[in-house]
Structure 1
Amino acid sequence: MSENTDGTIKEPDEWATGDEPATGAQLSYLETLAREAGRELPENPTKAQASELIDELQDQSGRVSGGDDA
């Protein structure tokens, strides 16, 4: 998600470029997250789809949320 200058958050499906192919950085990160989660990635995701899938996989893995309380 991206934050607008007025502080609101714009959902990926509202992005002007959301229907463009996912970036190399998104795909690389998605591959890492999917491998850790044992998930398959869709073929040729859009930027918006990749962003949403990154959020979903991060939530599942605890990678960003600090799932380890060590």
Structure 2
Amino acid sequence: MFSTLRTILVAFVGMFVGTVAAAAIVADPTSLLGMTITLVLVAVFSYAAYHLDERFAGNSSTNA
């Protein structure tokens, strides 16, 4: 039960943060805040894609 509530809470927090980030980028993409958010999002998604690729492709030495 708690894991379901935690998942829902994380989803709502993620949607809120994503909405605020998107609004900052759309409002002024050349501002320092807009560029910083864009770079952070690119870094996070790049890391996630790399990590998931390693995990599912079996290229990681940490796979059991």
Q: TM-score surpassing 0.5?
A: no
Of the two structures, which has the highest relative contact order with CA contacts closer than 8 Å and spacing of 6 or more?
Answer: 1
Answer 1 or 2: which has greater strand percent. Answer: 1
Provide TM-score, normalisation by structure 2: 0.31
Provide TM-score, normalisation by structure 1: 0.30
Larger radius of gyration: 2
